Every structure is written in C-alpha cells, then in structure tokens.
Structure 1
C-alpha cells in the first residue's frame, strides 16, 4: 500500500464567475483581456473556461450561465457576488476530508465529468465557497463520495452561518 499525500495547496486553480450574459462575458475575457477559450466538460448548463495563451496556460476563469448561476430571484448576481467560488490546486484529498471532519465542517465531493479531477467544496467562516481540485492519480483507490447529501450540486449552497463551527 502506498502512502497517501499530505494535504497541500499548490496554487490557484481558478475563479468562477456567474453571469446572465455569457456572450458579453466571454467577449470581455477573450476579446478585450486576451484569454483564450479552453475545452469545458459538459456540466449540463452553459459556460466557458478561459485561460492564458501561454503554453501550458490553465483555464483560470470559469464562467457559467443559466441554472446554477441564477440566484433566488432568477437572475445572476452582480458585483463581487458574481464570484461563485475560488478553486485551489491541491493534493492530499483524504487528508483534507479528515481535517474537515476534525474541525466539524460540512463539505461536498465531486468528480469532474470526463476528467481525472476530484474536488472538495467547503466554506470559509464568511461564506466564501472554496473548491479544492485534485488530480486523482496518486490520491488512492477510494473515490469521492457521490451519494445524495455529500455530492456537490452546482448552485446549491450548503453554507449555514448559524451552525458553522467556531474555529478559533
């Protein structure tokens, strides 16, 4: 049996932005800012992955519209509320799950369709959603828990300030 990696952050993976105007948002980030579009898995709702044009550039801005981008009023939020989550590139999937359990935090798990990427979703004390993204190779044989209540559902918040544990 191989040892699983320790919980480690390697860098920013992406920032996700909600929009009610995908065409204009895509045009801004590609035509004006200069990012290029990357292939995006079929999540069942419209969006775009945009990234650096340099060789090996990652899709650093994820934009999505419709479904999970819509708030309770049926519109995508504006301003900083349009930033849905921050994603960090990590290793040590099971170590993070153990940390969440030890701290009394709620979390969700996900496997990105058609890829070898695993994800954990958790909130900070201010309600900022954090996505930890892992290359599954080297993370052991136990796959993410995709059962109801544990599987991440885009656009469905599971943050509750009233029950969030005191971490200090």
Structure 2
C-alpha cells in the first residue's frame, strides 16, 4: 500500500477504523502492551512512520494492528529503558525488544521508509549470519518512548526455528 505522501509501502495495513474488516484467525495472535510517555508521538510513529492501522483507543492507550497481532501502547508517564543488552554475533542488542519477521522486499522497503522519516537506528540494517542457514537481514530501532524494536528477514524462512 502506498502512503498518501507517496513515501512507499507501509508496514501495516492502515485503513480507517470503519473500513476494517474483522480478521479471520487460523492461529492465535500475540497481544503485547508497551509503555509510552506520549500518545501523540506514539501515533505519529506507529501510525505514521510504520503505517499500522489504529484500533480502539482511550485517553490512556491505543491498539495497533501489527500485521494481525495486537500491539497496545499504554500511557505510562515515563520513557522505556532497556533492562539489559544481549550479544548476538558479537553485536550488543537491547533486551527486551519486539518486532516482526518480514519477507525480504518488505524488510528493505521498511528500512528505506525509516531512513526517509529520519528514524535513527540502534543497529543499521545488515546481514547477520551470512552464508549460514540462519542468514538474515536485521535492524534495531526505538519508538519515541525508547521501546526497542527489531525487524528481520530470513533468507530461508524455514530456518527460523532450525537448530
């Protein structure tokens, strides 16, 4: 889907609330709630930059359609700070973090969209485990409240849970 500004495909399937049709679920959906310190900034990031469709909301929280999963941004009054950093292939990654596994084209489209929006990366998009079965493109960034997100794309999608 193209944005009205013509900046490229959106991550989510943004549609007005009344136009959305109920999702037919063939497997359970994840529900994830994260703290934010500014709902307007969260709306600009999740709705504007990532292009997620907004669901129900109050003055204290907003539901987002994260590719069929329910992401809720809860007004918590202070920004989020990573509890720790883990190491993956010699790179420190923020923990906790959340995100999506994307098809390759969507991953690179999102990376360009984030760059065009001026979104800073904690870890720029790069190829991890090059030449191995678990080869994957990955990138880390933060929402305006400091919540860490990771988006990745496996070269071989069947390798996601491979040992």
Normalising by structure 2, what TM-score? Answer: 0.35
Higher RCO by CA contacts (8 Å cutoff, separation 6 or greater): 1
Of Structure 1 and Structure 2, the greater strand share is in: 2
Normalising by structure 1, what TM-score? Answer: 0.34
